[in-house]
């Protein structure tokens, strides 16, 4: 159980740094406002999907099985 908590903390740190880096790199791309917003939303959605998938995987390693649509 301690290993799961440590894994979750490391996951949050790593994904937070990747999200921050993605935002900083998006600021360097010269795009008009609607396209910049679309890219930002896609970045957030991708980050959320990755967080949920990894979180469910780590919970599965801890013995808590969460049923998903693509995994039974």
The predicted-structure confidence for 29-65, as pLDDT tens digits, reads as follows 888 888 888 888 888 888 888 888 887 887 788 787 7
What is the spatial distance between Cα 25 and Cα 13, in angstroms, rounded to a whole number?
Answer: 18
10: domain range?
Answer: 2-61
pTM score, whole prediction: 0.64
Report yes or no on 66 lying in a domain.
no
Number of domains in the chain: 1
pLDDT at 18 over 80: yes
Please compute the mean of the pLDDT values over residues 7-31 and round it to a whole number: 81
The pLDDT score that the predictor gives to residue 70 is: 61
The pLDDT score that the predictor gives to residue 61 is: 80
Question: 34-72 burial, b for 16+ CB within 10 Å, e for fewer?
Answer: eeeeeeeeebeeeeeeeeeeeeeebeeeeeeeeeeeeee
pLDDT at 3 over 60: yes
Report yes or no on 21 lying in a domain.
yes
Report yes or no on 51 lying in a domain.
yes
N residues, the chain: 72
């Amino acid at each position: 159980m301690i290993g799961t908590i440590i894994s979750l903390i490391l996951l949050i740190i790593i994904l937070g740094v990747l999200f921050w880096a993605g935002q900083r790199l998006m600021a360097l791309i010269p795009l008009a406002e609607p396209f910049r917003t679309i890219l930002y939303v896609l970045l957030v959605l991708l980050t959320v999907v990755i967080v949920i998938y990894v979180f469910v995987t780590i919970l599965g390693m801890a013995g808590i099985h969460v049923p998903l649509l693509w995994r039974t």
